[in-house]
Amino acid sequence: MAYEVIIPAAGQGKRMGLGKNKLFLELDHLPVFIHTLIVFENDPNCNGIWLVVSSDDKKQMNELVKKYAITKVTALIEGGSERQHSVYHAVKEIPDDTIVLVHDAARPFIQTDQIARLTKVAEEIGAAVLAVPIKDTVKKVDGDLVVETVERSSLWAIQTPQAFRISILKDAHEKAVVDTYIGTDDASLVERLGQAVHIVEGNYDNIKLTTPEDLYFAEAIVAKRRTKN
């Protein structure tokens, strides 16, 4: 199933603590966000990449996109103050009658078999997200006191890509603007429409590089995949 992909890359990487965008960090001699873009560049089902960048990073990101010949980048879109705003700036540009994926640039370990399973469900149902079952016990807390232990069997850690019929995603973002609602993922906006969102089980190594500790895991994944190739 052919699709377009929005890659939000306009964050500041504050929790990584580098003083610069974490997406320029090099993993196995390539910037993090280039690893992510290469997956979609090499996927024959990907018809276009919409890269969302901050004004500060635009020149450097554009140079790197050209250096690594990411030819499917359709446009560099100006980011916003929140991830949701960045995504919406791109959503407005996507052609109708398309399946659109939204995938964090900070998740470089996505693989095409997972993308294929996800887009198939989104084509059939309208909305789908990659996710993995939670492994830790989760509790609601008030201050430093436990309020409630949440039943774990129904809890999933939601990842990206998240895949949608573009009409559904456009409606969801437009409603969020009207309601001044900010969600932490795109699926939460789609859920607010009353649209069913399907879970597609992914892999635990589809991590988001957020804090320095994530880099240890990232190096291990790179090493594991290098031995497999």
Ligand X SMILES: C[C@](O)(CO)[C@H](O)COP(=O)(O)O
> Which parts of 138-167 interact with ligand X (CB under 6 A)?
158-160
Select the residue interacting with ligand CTP from 62, 98, 112, 210 (CB under 6 A). 210
Q: CA–CA separation, 205 vs 208, rounded Å?
A: 9
Q: Is 8 in the site for ligand CTP (CB under 6 A)?
A: yes
Q: CB 193 → ligand X: shortest distance, Å?
A: 18
Nearer to ligand CTP, 23 or 176 (CB): 23
Q: What is the 3-state secondary structure (H, E, C) of the chain?
A: CCEEEEEECCCCCHHHCCCCCHHHCEECCEEHHHHHHHHHHCCCCEEEEEEEECCCCHHHHHHHHHHCCCCCEEEEEECCCCHHHHHHHHHCCCCCCCEEEECCCCCCCCCHHHHHHHHHHHHHHCEEEEEEECCCCEEEEECCEEEEEECHHHCEEEEEEEEEEHHHHHHHHHHHHHCCCCCCCHHHHHHCCCCCCEEEECCCCCCCCCCCHHHHHHHHHHHHHHHHC
Q: Is 121 in the site for ligand CTP (CB under 6 A)?
A: no
Instruction: Respond yes or no on whether the N-terminal peptide bond of residue 161 is cis (omega within 30° of 0).
Output: yes
Q: CB 83 → ligand X: shortest distance, Å?
A: 4
Select the residue interacting with ligand CTP from 39, 46, 51, 52 (CB under 6 A). 52
Query: Could you count the other beta carbons within 10 Å of the beta carbon of residue 189?
Result: 26
Q: Which does 98 bind (CB under 5 to 8 A by kind): ligand X, ligand CTP, none?
A: none
Cβ(122)–Cβ(166) below 8 Å: no
* Site string (133-172) toward ligand CTP, x via CB under 6 A: ----------------------------------------
> Which parts of 72-91 interact with ligand CTP (CB under 6 A)?
79-83, 86
Q: Which does 159 bind (CB under 5 to 8 A by kind): ligand CTP, ligand X, none?
A: ligand X
Nearer to ligand X, 43 or 104 (CB): 104
> Which parts of 47-86 interact with ligand X (CB under 6 A)?
83
Q: Is 11 in the site for ligand CTP (CB under 6 A)?
A: yes
Q: Give me the residues that bind ligand X (CB under 6 A), please.
A: 83, 104, 158-160, 184-185, 208
Q: Give me the residues that bind ligand CTP (CB under 6 A), please.
A: 8-15, 23, 52, 79-83, 86, 104-106, 208, 210
